[in-house]
Amino acid sequence: MAPQLDSYFQQVDALSDAFIERLRQAVAIPSVSSEAARRPDVVRMGQFLADELTKLGAHVELRPLGKQPGTDLDLPPVVLARYGNDKNKRTILVYGHYDVQPAQKTDGWDTEPFELTIMPDGRMCGRGSTDDKGPVLGWLNAIEAHKSAGIEFPVNLLMCFEGMEEYGSEGLDDLINAEAKKFFADADAVCISDNYWLGTERPCLTYGLRGCNYYSVEVWGPGADLHSGVFGGTAQEPMTDLVRIMSSLVDTNGNILIPGIAEQVAPVTAEEEGLYDDISFTMETLHESLGSKTTIFDDKKRTLMARWRQPSLSLHGIEGAFSAPGAKTVIPAKVIGKFSIRTVPNMDIDKTNEAVYRYVEDVFKKLGSKNSMKVYAQHTGKWWVASPKHWNFSAAAKATERVWGVKPDFTREGGSIPVTLTFEQATGKNVLLLPMGSSTDGAHSINEKLDKRNYIEGIKLLGAYLHYVAEEPMN
Ligand code: BES
Ligand code: MN
Ligand code: MN
């Protein structure tokens, strides 16, 4: 029997201003995990969630994670919470992150990044609106709407919200493993709302993610930054070496030039070949979210395959390089190049690291430079692919149809959520990714937004999913 959801949906609509206000308060806390100076704000954001959850009647624990490796800085606490403890109900464990990417108005934002700004077309702009504060608050809002509608909450809800996801989920694996048989012991399934629709119209359920290995290459030589008029042509320059190393990693069409990577990639099966045609995804929407037409492929299938099931290597930046406007004639003494590899089945983290180290060391050796070089991984994370043939996915599909009036696509994604596989392995339960935002939200980019419609309907979706979960037969 379809669950009675009408009064819940009405209550979400009635409370929508309060829910937007809650998002405004969350966006106003600049919880940037990668900047040491912002760490107090990250902690404040965790406290905000804990306070809101406590007010809603949840049992909340703030768990310390100790020091950030290699620093004197405390990691932000994990917010663990439980709402409901009824042995006759299913228990769903949800995960999200309350940290965000850095943002400054001068990066090119049209509005202040840490002030939620609502546009006439319904875009709610602000850092973290879609990644991942809107979805995290979605769970809190679903609880509130049930309370004020006077409807019984359909499941026991366990929550795990962390503050270091954008930095590789430092410290969280250990906590998940330690709590698998404790705080998370009665979880029947896991749900993560931290990805996006493939386009702007059709919702999706996601069953795969790529992993992410993030590397640094340091090159140094001179004792201090130098005048290029005095030392140019007399000193071997670290940046010259680094740029030559970085240019040897990947080509214009995204081909990874490191031996030992392509060999690890799982072959395409006949079944998989047929999966791509039905996915609602067009090159036009890709061009729209890309903001240009500079794609490597011009067809949907190869593009989706490149994003979902092929590895990629991206160059991110060079620490220590002159990057300000103007024309400073400096020779940087030490530079650190940053790049990452998105990993896919059946790549192995250690094998991939070894291939990278061997290749970079080899390229550097061939340069014949007197400078010094060091290459190492800053963080690594495994890829994840699950089976969508599970009641967890069936419930989410029914909820999607009920809220959005269409069947969801079943998708994989190119991005990474490092702890997804950890949750699956530690709990032994099915993990579902249930996105709220859409492809044009611009996570990590300037003018990040969450459409008001996706936020409000997304809150209905998360609540409806829990009701359908309660009704699914076990399989
Ligand atoms: N929400 C994203 C993950 C994501 C992005 C999933 C796009 C699906 C599509 C998450 O906040 C994120 O940005 N993750 C990082 C992880 C990295 C730091 C290990 C990422 O993918 O870069
Ligand atoms: Mn995220
Ligand atoms: Mn992110």
DSSP-derived secondary structure for 428-459: ---EEE---B-TTS-TTSTT-EEEHHHHHHHH
Cβ proximity of 362 and 258 under 8 Å: no
- Among candidate residues 362, 379, 396, the one where a domain is terminated: 379
Verify that 54 and 122 share a domain, yes or no: yes
Q: At what angle do helices 452-471 and 6-14 cross, to 10 degrees?
A: 150
76 close to ligand 1 (CB < 6 Angstrom)? no
For the chain, 475 residues long, give each residue's pLDDT as a single digit of tens.
678 899 999 999 999 999 999 999 999 999 999 999 999 999 999 999 999 999 999 999 999 999 999 899 999 999 999 999 999 999 999 999 999 999 999 999 999 999 999 999 999 999 999 999 999 999 999 999 999 999 999 999 999 999 999 998 989 999 999 999 999 999 999 999 999 999 999 999 999 999 999 999 999 999 999 999 999 999 999 999 999 999 999 999 999 999 999 999 999 999 999 999 999 999 998 998 899 999 999 999 999 999 999 999 999 999 999 999 999 999 999 999 999 999 999 999 999 999 999 999 999 999 999 999 999 999 999 999 999 999 999 999 999 999 999 999 999 999 999 999 999 999 999 999 999 999 999 999 999 999 999 999 999 999 999 999 999 987 5
User: Looking at the domain assignment, is residue 188 inside a domain?
Assistant: yes
What CATH number has the domain bearing residue 251?
A: 3.30.70.360
How far is the centre of ligand 3, averaged over its atoms, from the C-alpha of 130 (Å)? 9
390 is in an annotated binding site: no
User: Looking at the domain assignment, is residue 344 inside a domain?
Assistant: yes
How far is the centre of ligand 2, averaged over its atoms, from the C-alpha of 234 (Å)? 47
131 is in an annotated binding site: yes
Q: Please give the structure tokens belonging to residue 125.
A: 């702009």
Verify that 332 and 458 share a domain, yes or no: no
165 close to ligand 1 (CB < 6 Angstrom)? yes
Verify that 184 and 326 share a domain, yes or no: no
Verify that 138 and 104 share a domain, yes or no: yes
71 is in an annotated binding site: no
User: Looking at the domain assignment, is residue 300 inside a domain?
Assistant: no
pTM score, whole prediction:
0.95
Q: Please give the structure tokens belonging to residue 48.
A: 């905000």
The one-letter amino acid code at 12 reads V
* Residue 315: other Cβ atoms inside 10 A: 13
In terms of DSSP bridges, do strands 334-343 and 312-319 run parallel, antiparallel, or are they unpaired?
antiparallel
117 close to ligand 1 (CB < 6 Angstrom)? no
How far is the centre of ligand 1, averaged over its atoms, from the C-alpha of 362 (Å)? 31
448 close to ligand 1 (CB < 6 Angstrom)? no
User: Looking at the domain assignment, is residue 105 inside a domain?
Assistant: yes
- Among candidate residues 363, 379, 395, the one where a domain is terminated: 379
Atom of ligand 1 nearest to the CA of 214: 19
Catalytic residues: 99, 165
Atom of ligand 1 nearest to the CA of 194: 1
Verify that 161 and 255 share a domain, yes or no: no
329 is in an annotated binding site: yes
Verify that 202 and 136 share a domain, yes or no: yes
How far is the centre of ligand 1, averaged over its atoms, from the C-alpha of 196 (Å)? 10
The one-letter amino acid code at 342 reads R
Q: Integer distance in angstroms from the first to the last C-alpha of the chain?
A: 18
SS3 content of the chain, % helix, strand, coil (to 5): 35, 20, 40
What CATH number has the domain bearing residue 394?
A: 3.40.630.10
Ligand nearest to the backbone CA of 101: 3
Residue 234, judged by CB atoms within 10 A of its CB (0-12, 13-18, 19+), counts as: exposed
Verify that 135 and 68 share a domain, yes or no: yes
Question: Looking at ligand 1, which residue's alpha carbon is closest to its atom 7?
Answer: 415
409 is in an annotated binding site: no
99 close to ligand 1 (CB < 6 Angstrom)? no
Verify that 426 and 436 share a domain, yes or no: yes
User: Looking at the domain assignment, is residue 187 inside a domain?
Assistant: yes
Ligand nearest to the backbone CA of 127: 3
Question: Looking at ligand 1, which residue's alpha carbon is closest to its atom 17?
Answer: 168
Verify that 136 and 77 share a domain, yes or no: yes
162 close to ligand 1 (CB < 6 Angstrom)? no
How far is the centre of ligand 2, averaged over its atoms, from the C-alpha of 129 (Å)? 10
- Among candidate residues 379, 396, 426, the one where a domain is terminated: 379
166 close to ligand 1 (CB < 6 Angstrom)? yes
Verify that 191 and 225 share a domain, yes or no: no
What domain range includes position 457? 6-209+383-471
Verify that 192 and 226 share a domain, yes or no: no
**Total domain count, the chain:** 2
Cβ proximity of 449 and 123 under 8 Å: yes
Verify that 151 and 221 share a domain, yes or no: no
